[in-house]
């Protein structure tokens, strides 16, 4: 089984534990704060990549109606659909073969460190962006090994599948793939690490 399929399998198994972990450890609160800080950068139609159980979609739905979600795990997608009422596609975010329309905003939250081919993904996302569209990355830095009662039994496998890189490396990689940074914001998750929101547009 290749790494992408292992990631898909992991999150199909741990989806309920992951959701509890994110809620109890302040991760979802930090995501909501980043959305507030970047409110002026977000415009519809919106595509939420690796949308998980639909937390960001549910928050975005308070202001927007044209929201699309994607996740590689069918279990995650099923929960997100039930929670949000939005149809969630199930496919690898590097290819997104079911999409042909253009988006004003693509959100990449807690996904980039899992990608196997980041250049391929960025090229595909660029093709799906309106010329004045934005890609918004939400990533933890520094990335810490998840520590909670809910995730402990999944952590060993998760750490084998994830490949964190620095914010500087993300910015450099985006620049090499035709993007420029427009904004950066951050908020604390806890006293050990923060969640960053990085906004990029096409050069």
Is residue 109 within 8 Å of 31, Cβ to Cβ? yes
Q: What confidence tens digit (pLDDT) does each residue in 62-116 have?
A: 999 999 999 999 999 999 999 999 989 999 999 999 999 999 999 999 999 999 9
**17: alpha, beta or left? (left if phi > 0; alpha if psi -120 to 50):** alpha
Give strand pairing partners of 137: 108, 198
Which residue stretches of 53-195 are H helix? 55-60, 74-84, 118-128, 152-161, 167-176
pLDDT at res. 149 = 87
> Domain boundaries in the chain?
3-202
pLDDT at res. 147 = 83
Q: What confidence tens digit (pLDDT) does each residue in 134-159 have?
A: 999 999 999 988 888 889 899 999 99
pLDDT at res. 1 = 73
pLDDT band at 125 (very low <50, low <70, confident <90, very high): very high
| pTM (2 d.p.) | 0.95
Q: In the CATH hierarchy, which fold is given to the domain comprising 3-202?
A: Rossmann fold (3.40.50)
Choose among 202, 199, 193: nearest CA to 40.
199
Tell me the backbone φ, ψ of residue 198, rounded to 5 degrees: -115, 125
Q: What confidence tens digit (pLDDT) does each residue in 155-186 have?
A: 999 999 999 999 999 999 999 999 999 999 99
Is residue 107 within 8 Å of 47, Cβ to Cβ? yes
């Amino acid at each position: 089984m290749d790494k992408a399929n292992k990631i898909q399998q992991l999150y199909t198994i741990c989806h309920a534990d992951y959701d509890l972990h994110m809620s109890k450890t302040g991760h979802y609160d930090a995501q909501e704060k980043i959305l507030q800080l970047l409110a002026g950068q977000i415009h519809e139609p919106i595509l939420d990549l690796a949308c998980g159980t639909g937390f960001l979609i549910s928050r975005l739905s308070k202001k927007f109606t044209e929201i699309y979600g994607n996740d590689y795990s069918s279990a995650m997608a099923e929960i997100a659909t039930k929670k949000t009422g939005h149809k969630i596609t199930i496919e690898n975010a590097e290819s997104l073969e079911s999409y042909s329309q253009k988006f004003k905003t693509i959100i990449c939250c807690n996904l980039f460190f899992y990608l196997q081919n980041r250049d391929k993904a960025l090229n595909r996302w660029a093709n799906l962006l309106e010329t004045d569209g934005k890609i918004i990355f939400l990533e933890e830095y520094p990335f810490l090994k998840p520590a909670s009662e809910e995730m402990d039994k999944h952590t060993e496998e998760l750490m084998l599948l994830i490949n964190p890189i620095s914010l500087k490396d993300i910015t450099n990689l985006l620049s090499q793939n035709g993007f420029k940074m427009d904004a950066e914001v951050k908020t604390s998750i806890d006293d050990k690490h923060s969640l960053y929101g990085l906004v990029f547009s096409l050069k």
